[in-house]
Amino acid sequence: MKHYIDFHEDVGIEELDYLLDIAADMKAKTKAGIEHHYLNGKTLAMIFTKSSTRTRVSFEVGMYQLGGAALFLSSDDIQIGRGEPISDTAKVLSGMVDGIMIRTFAHQDVVDLAKYGSIPVINGLTDDQHPTQMLADLLTIKEQKGTLKGLKLAYIGDGNNVANSLLQACAKAGMDISVASPKSHTCPDKYVEQAKKDAAITGSKIVMTEDPYVAAKDADVLYADTWVSMGQEDEKAERIKIFKDYQINSDLMATADKDAIFLHCLPAYRGYEVTEDIIDGPRSFVFEEAENRLHAHKAILVNCFLNS
């Protein structure tokens, strides 16, 4: 795996277990205070045209713990923000650093960085996908449930980048996934079809519905994301109306398995996509999930850098 851009394209079914094992091993080493400087002397350029707490901290700390260094670059710091072609930036950075992580709006920008550069490119988030989050999610579920295959995850809300990547990830892991979204905001057919292709191999089931209670029935994991993503602030009032029936609350949680857990990629907005009693309750593992971004991202970095 040279690049980590698209979960469906870049992560094989068997490779997923390998990545999760690496993440778990490095988490154990971190907790035990055991150094794991697998990337001594390596440098990661981190391009952010979308701001973030978890993505920046996890990649920057991750590179430090791996013995390397990370360089933060906002759109104000580099020439992309002043009209330089992606191709030029890719070639320049390829001669100076060992890898690029980019968190941005247009998915094509990430694809072009990999196309024109000669170093690994990691997709930290685009408007279409959020693949790095997925490895942390699966690691968290495996820690809490002991397995992935055969479990059911229910995603409730906007058919956005997180939902698209969850379809890809659950199908690869052999997990059933039900996505409940309004018809006007469901996941694009492309991601549903990708998931169904992998599901045919792993045995998972893919269900798309408008009914959150249908999706949540007997689920082992309930998953929410913000109703208003970055760049959608002007639509906030309208989006709250659209998604008002897609809140994860105690009634919806009662439909899930009695031992179901709650996940959210954060930031969360209590009282909108999830109620306070759920996200701050005993069945919520959102902060363990956030911590696992660090270890999942280290697994991605090691796999990309050492195989490039």
CA-nearest of 96, 44, 50, 88 to 69 is: 44
Q: What does the pLDDT average to over 198-208?
A: 98
CA dist list (Å): 252 to 4, 23, 126, 285: 34, 32, 29, 17
Torsion of CA 196, 197, 202, 205, to 10 degrees: 10
**CA–CA distance, 70 with 62 (Å, rounded to integer):** 9
Report the pLDDT value the prediction gives residue 39, as an integer from 0 to 100.
98
* pLDDT of residue 23 exceeding 80: yes
Report the pLDDT value the prediction gives residue 306, as an integer from 0 to 100.
93
Report the pLDDT value the prediction gives residue 113, as an integer from 0 to 100.
96
Q: What is the pLDDT confidence band of residue 230, given thresholds at 50, 70 and 90?
A: confident
Rounded (5°) CA angle 78-83-89: 50
Report the pLDDT value the prediction gives residue 34, as an integer from 0 to 100.
98
Per-residue pLDDT of 151-182, as tens digits, reads 999 999 999 999 999 999 999 999 999 999 99
**CA–CA distance, 149 with 203 (Å, rounded to integer):** 9
**CA–CA distance, 281 with 274 (Å, rounded to integer):** 11
CB neighbours of 12 closer than 8 A, spacing ≥ 6? 1
Q: What is the pLDDT confidence band of residue 144, given thresholds at 50, 70 and 90?
A: very high
Give me the domains of the chain, ranges plus CATH numbers: 7-130+292-307 (3.40.50.1370), 133-289 (3.40.50.1370)
Report the pLDDT value the prediction gives residue 285, as an integer from 0 to 100.
98
- Pairing outcome for strands 43-48 and 121-125: unpaired
Asked which of 18-27, 69-78, 86-95, 107-116 is least confident by mean pLDDT, the reply is 69-78
Torsion of CA 25, 26, 28, 29, to 10 degrees: 120
Report the pLDDT value the prediction gives residue 82, as an integer from 0 to 100.
75
Q: What is the pLDDT confidence band of residue 81, given thresholds at 50, 70 and 90?
A: low
Of 87 and 307, the structure prediction assigns the larger pLDDT to 87
Rounded (5°) CA angle 223-105-273: 25
Report the pLDDT value the prediction gives residue 77, as an integer from 0 to 100.
85
Q: What is the pLDDT confidence band of residue 85, given thresholds at 50, 70 and 90?
A: very high
Of 230 and 291, the structure prediction assigns the larger pLDDT to 291
Catalytic residue set? 103, 130, 133, 225, 265, 293
Mean pLDDT over all residues of the chain? 96
What is the 3 state secondary structure string of 192-246?
A: HHHHHHHHHHHCCCEEEECCHHHHHCCCCEEEECCCCCCCCHHHHHHHHHHHCCC
b/e string for 237-269 if b means 16 or more Cβ within 10 A? eebeeebeebbbeeebbebbbeebbbbbbbebe
